[in-house]
Amino acid sequence: MLDLAVLGLLRREPRHGYDLKLQLAELGFARVSFGALYPALRRLEKRGWIEALRPAARRKAYRLTEAGRTALDALLTDEDDEPEADRRFAVRLAFFEFIPVERRLDILRRRRSQLVARLGDATQTLRQATSTDTDPYTLALVRHNVETIESDIAWLDELIAMARTDTRHRRNPS
């Protein structure tokens, strides 16, 4: 997911490592160290997805290549069935501007379906926990999980409605 985030940030504009680290923190990668970031940059550069610009000062800036743009497009639109689908969805959402409108809606609807299925499981767990002698803190945790999923579904419903109607962000990636 670090690769996806770096490619997305570089699609917006060229950046140097320190700036990437700051932007990654805003995307929820607060714990990304330079010891993880710079090897990722070297790996992406070796794949031909990014290239270093001539240093204007002491910092080396990177930009996305055409191959990197193609790779980013593929990473943004592939299906999510892996264990880190939650985190990947959040990173992908940060770069929705680069995804065609109809694909955005597909991704949002798929995510909503995943959460509805998860809500069914969580609700069943809550029913079982309330019908047994469950510790009150465990019960509170299970209830919190149900409420969080319900809240996420409502949020996705808002995003779906916005994606259908918001013409300011309906541009297809260029």
pLDDT, position 128: 92
Q: Are residues 120 and 155 in the same domain?
A: yes
In a domain? residue 94 = no
Mean predicted confidence (pLDDT) in 144-158 = 96
**Considering the domain boundaries, does residue 87 fall inside one?**
no
Q: Where is the domain boundary, 22, 48, 80?
A: 80
Residues 68 and 14 in one domain: yes
pLDDT at 171 over 80: no
Classify residue 91: in a domain, yes or no: no
Range of the domain at 143: 100-169
Q: Tell me: the pLDDT tens digits for 103-149? A: 899 999 999 999 999 999 999 999 999 998 889 999 999 999 999 99
**Residue 160, pLDDT above cutoff 50:** yes
- Interval 94-101 mean pLDDT: 90
- Specify the higher pLDDT residue, 50 or 80: 50
Taking 80 as the threshold, does the pLDDT of residue 167 lie above it?
A: no
15 & 69 share domain: yes
Asked if the structure places residue 95 within a domain, the reply is no
Name the most confidently modeled range: 36-40, 71-75, 153-157, 164-168: 153-157
With respect to residue 71, please indicate whether it lies within any of the assigned structural domains: yes
Stated pTM of the model: 0.80
The pLDDT assigned to 155 comes to 97
User: pLDDT per residue over 9-57, tens digit each?
Assistant: 999 999 999 999 999 988 888 788 888 899 999 999 999 999 998 766 6
Distance, CA of 81 to CA of 120 (rounded, Å):
18
92, part of any domain: no
What is the CATH number for 30? 1.10.10.10
Q: Per the domain annotation, does 48 fall within a domain?
A: yes
pLDDT at position 170: 47
Same domain, 75 and 113: no
